Structure 1
């Protein structure tokens, strides 16, 4: 298994992972409503945006995406059936290091406020701090360099 920068050629696999998760599931139509489509994703991988994939035998198992202009990790998803292998931890480390290297003193992300959602415990385990409930019902986590 290797972690590498995401490329435009990875976009179909990234959407396959994203739409195949059990928790925080979104369909292609739901993603399109928030502006995430196969046409918009390439722009999120350049400039102030970056993405990484965890790949094994040519298959994308997980991905993360970050935006340095907003100092945020806005996506981290692991393919159903590939959880528990440390892929999320490795991808988050890449995103965090990149954001801090780009000069972000504090980074943030949002996730479901339901404590039963695995992401909540995962982010806490990685040293992220709960920064409160947002207007949309999600919880914001922060991490300082």
Structure 2
């Protein structure tokens, strides 16, 4: 089955949290997310401001999502259900987030754990590590590709 990526809607919030809490690496519970200020209400408010969150579906079943922060040029999150990893879902979600941010910014950024599989995934996608942060995190950047019309 093919992967479809679409803009998230308010009706997707439950699935977004189900995906986020289903991951083994970088797992956070609903309680931990709420302590960080990430609740259904905050996601609904973010969605109301405009496109910033995309859902990947296989057979109309949500299997992953990506999220950006327009105000800071940041890829804020990308999560794929473990049983759908390795199928290209993450790559498509990352490309969608990048395309959105590169429409507004020349350079975008994110953070991820240095020891994670995600770190290697982002490096393969052209992201450059530039600064080690607290909690074993690395800041990565990516510049807008230069198009060539020869």
Normalization by structure 1: what TM-score?
A: 0.93
- Note the aligned Cα RMSD (angstroms): 1.3
Q: How does 1:1-145 map to 2 (within 5 A)?
A: 1-47=3-49, 50-101=52-103, 103-114=104-115, 117-145=116-144
- For 1:111 and 1:49, locate their aligned partners in 2 and report how far apart those are by CA, in whole Å: 23
CA distance in 1, matches of 2:138, 2:5: 28
Shift of 1:80: 1.5
Structure 1: runs of 5+ lacking an equivalent: none
Contact 1:49 1:67 in 2 (8 A): no
Q: Give unpaired runs (5+ residues) of structure 2.
A: 145-150
- 1:126 and 1:26 map into 2 onto residues whose CA distance is 25
TM-score (norm 2): 0.90
**Which structure has the bigger radius of gyration?**
2
